[in-house]
């Protein structure tokens, strides 16, 4: 038996995921025969397009089954660099690209090579829940930049300015955003860039994993495009999971300053090595193939986002900032309601609706619902949401 100290401080500090807890309870209830409607999913409900699957199968048959270069398949790195250059208007060459095990590993690697004890990371809130966890694992301290549904979750420029200290090392942006579905506007990014110009020690990470999942009237802007003069300290994280329905393939990427990307490659070489070699061939096919599937899937999410948003707006008491991207809605609970955890636990136990409490994303006033399910399921979920709120408020 080892000594009393079984776990490292690092492992000890990891917080259990609320999302997993709710999902586990939903499964338990379903196994007991309860009729459960889950709007908690954070992944596309489409299958990966066939031509991508075929490319990976072909790669397997061709013997692409061995270790590959740590930084990624050279052809894929080249194709990603070309995509960033042409689609995002950010001149990039392949030495600036690291292929990672999903967008998640891109973020993890970047934080590990950039951050250390004492550094402060600024995270706009609500946020995707892995940012603070990964920043803490790298030893950094978090400062949140709260935003409110009352102001449409807009980025708080003054709050940003006032939160900067000598220790500030990194600002995180995520557009289109999880959980709010907000798409940042170019002017907002320009204002942020203006502040960064006065603080040469602050880096920025822009997570653009939902890039293609936006309404027709929206435009995705990559932060790196807005501030080419800051290219040494702006990093982009992206991947194939959401746009191409490839969550299980685990292919994402980090791009930016080649010196820092090189350090992230060294880290990857000593931790996980290359991303699954034949999965990378699938990703290459995704980039080279027709964009029709991408457009069709994005349209379908837009339709379902609208169905979900309109339905929420009809339930009295909720305040919703209409999401324009990703596949979530993040409504604010009625004023006289309980906190988000109690609300979600109640919704699950009483009406069989599985949704995610906003506190998991840093905002206890809200709840997150996903529209990456069938329209019938969305309607069923909305019905149960109304029952839940009536239940709680009665
Ligand atoms: C905002 C955001 N960034 C990154 C990721 C990670 O994506 P991947 O599956 O490519 O690791 C997710 C996944 O849910 C996400 O919502």
Q: Could you tell me the pTM of the whole model?
A: 0.96
Phi and psi for 234 in degrees, rounded to 5? -115, 125
- 243 Cα: distance to centroid of ligand 1 (angstroms): 11
Pocket test residue of 177, 205, 239 for ligand 1, highest count of atoms within 8 A of CB? 239
In angstroms, the CA 175 to CA 218 distance is 12
Q: What is the Å distance from ligand 1's center to 104 Cα?
A: 6
Task: Give the per-residue pLDDT at 17.
Answer: 75
The CA 188 to ligand 1 mean position distance, Å, reads 23
With a 6 Å cutoff on the Cβ, whether 128 touches ligand 1 is: yes
pLDDT at 108: 98
pLDDT at 19: 76
Cα–ligand 1 centroid distance for 209 (angstroms): 6
DSSP 319: B
pLDDT at position 3 is 55
Whether 178 lines ligand 1, by a CB cut-off of 6 Å, is yes
pLDDT at 2: 56
The mean pLDDT of 155-165, rounded to a whole number, is: 97
pLDDT recorded at residue 39: 95
CA distance 49 to 242: 12
Over the stretch 179-198, which tens digit does the pLDDT of each residue have? Answer: 999 999 999 999 999 999 99
Confidence of residue 103 (pLDDT cuts 50, 70, 90): very high
Q: Does the C-beta of 174 come closer than 6 Å to ligand 1? A: yes
| For the chain, percent of residues with pLDDT exceeding 70 | 99
Query: Percent helix, strand and coil across the chain, each rounded to 5?
Result: 50, 15, 40
Q: Determine whether 187 is exposed, middle or buried from the number of CB atoms within 10 Å of its CB (0-12, 13-18, 19+).
A: exposed
pLDDT number for residue 21: 80
Ligand 1 atom with the smallest distance to the CA of 177 is 1
263-309 pLDDT, tens digit each: 999 999 999 999 999 999 999 999 999 999 999 999 999 999 999 99
**Average confidence (pLDDT) over 20-46:** 91
Atom from ligand 1 closest to the CA of residue 247 = 9
* Nearest CA residue ID for atom 14, ligand 1: 42
Q: What are 55-66's pLDDT values in tens digits?
A: 999 999 999 999
* Confidence (pLDDT) at 24: 86
Q: What pLDDT score does 224 carry?
A: 98
**How many angstroms separate the CA atoms of 76 and 63, rounded?**
17
* Nearest ligand 1 atom, CA 128: 1
Which structure tokens are listed for 348?
Answer: 């699950």
Task: Please calculate the CA angle 103-105-111 and round it to the nearest 5 degrees.
Answer: 110
Identify which of 330, 338, 370 has the alpha carbon closest to the alpha carbon of residue 354: 370
Q: Per-residue pLDDT averaged across 147-176, rounded?
A: 97
Residue closest to 337 by CA, chosen among 360, 315, 309, 353: 315
Confidence at residue 298, expressed as pLDDT on a 0 to 100 scale? 97
Tell me the pLDDT band of 222, cut-offs 50, 70 and 90.
Answer: very high
Average pLDDT over residues 228-236: 98
Instruction: For the chain, give the mean pLDDT.
Output: 95
pLDDT of res. 1: 52
Supply the residue whose CA is at minimum distance from atom 16 of ligand 1.
Answer: 178
- Backbone φ and ψ for 100, nearest 5 degrees, come out as -125, 170
Ligand 1 atom closest to 43 (CA): 14
Q: Is the CB of 126 under 6 A from ligand 1?
A: no
Provide the angle, in degrees to the nearest 10, between the axes of the packed helices 375-393 and 292-314. 30
381 lines ligand 1 (CB under 6 A): no
User: Quick one: pLDDT at residue 4?
Assistant: 62
Instruction: List the structure tokens of 375.
Output: 């329209």
Spacing, Cα 241 to ligand 1 middle (Å): 8
Cα–Cα distance measured from residue 254 to residue 235, given in angstroms and rounded to the nearest whole number: 7
Lowest mean pLDDT among 10-14, 94-98, 263-267: 10-14
Q: For the chain, which domains are there?
A: 9-47+293-393 (3.90.1150.10), 50-288 (3.40.640.10)
Query: Ligand 1 centre and the CA of 242: distance in Å?
Result: 8
Phi, psi of 373 (to 5 degrees): -140, 175
Pocket of ligand 1 contains residue 247 by CB under 6 Å: yes
Query: Does ligand 1 have an atom closer than 6 angstroms to the CB of 103?
Result: yes
Task: Please tell me the residue having the least CA distance from ligand 1 atom 7.
Answer: 103
Mean pLDDT to the nearest integer, 358-381: 97
Question: 103 C-alpha to center of ligand 1: Å?
Answer: 6
Please tell me the distance between residue 239's alpha carbon and the centre of ligand 1 in angstroms: 8
């Amino acid at each position: 038996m080892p000594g009393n100290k079984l776990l490292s401080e690092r492992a000890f500090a990891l917080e259990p995921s609320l999302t997993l807890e709710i999902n586990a309870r939903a499964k338990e209830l379903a196994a007991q025969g309860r009729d459960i409607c889950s709007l908690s999913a954070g992944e596309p409900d489409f299958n990966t397009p066939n031509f991508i699957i075929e490319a990976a199968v072909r790669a397997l048959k061709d013997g692409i089954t061995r270790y590959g270069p740590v930084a990624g398949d050279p052809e894929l790195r080249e194709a990603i660099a070309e995509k960033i250059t042409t689609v995002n208007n950010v001149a990039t060459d392949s030495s600036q690209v690291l292929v990672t095990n999903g967008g998640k590993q891109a973020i993890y690697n970047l934080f590990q090579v950039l951050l250390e004890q004492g550094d402060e990371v600024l995270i706009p809130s609500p946020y995707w829940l892995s940012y603070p966890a990964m920043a803490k694992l790298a030893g950094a301290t978090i400062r949140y930049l709260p935003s409110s549904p009352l102001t449409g979750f807009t980025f708080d420029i003054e709050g940003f300015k006032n939160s900067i200290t000598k220790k500030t090392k990194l600002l995180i942006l995520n557009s289109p955003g999880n959980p709010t579905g907000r798409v940042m506007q170019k002017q907002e990014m320009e204002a942020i860039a203006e502040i960064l110009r006065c603080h040469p020690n602050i880096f920025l990470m822009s997570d653009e994993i939902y890039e293609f999942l936006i309404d027709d009237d929206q435009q995705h802007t990559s932060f790196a495009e807005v501030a080419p003069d800051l290219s040494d300290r702006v990093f982009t994280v992206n991947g194939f999971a959401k746009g191409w329905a490839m969550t299980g393939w685990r292919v994402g990427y980090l791009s930016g300053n080649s010196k820092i990307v090189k350090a992230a490659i060294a880290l990857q070489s000593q931790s996980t090595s290359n991303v699954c070699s034949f999965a990378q061939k699938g990703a290459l096919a995704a980039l080279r193939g027709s964009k029709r599937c991408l457009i069709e899937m994005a349209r379908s999410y837009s339709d379902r986002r609208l169905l979900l948003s309109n339905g929420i707006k009809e339930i009295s008491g909720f305040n919703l900032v209409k999401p324009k991207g990703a596949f979530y809605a993040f409504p604010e609970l009625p004023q006289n309601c309980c906190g988000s955890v109690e609300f979600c636990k109640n919704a699950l136990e009483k009406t069989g609706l599985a949704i995610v409490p906003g506190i998991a994303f840093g905002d206890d006033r809200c709840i997150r619902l996903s529209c990456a399910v069938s329209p019938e399921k969305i309607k069923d979920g909305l019905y149960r949401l109304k029952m839940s709120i009536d239940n709680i408020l009665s």
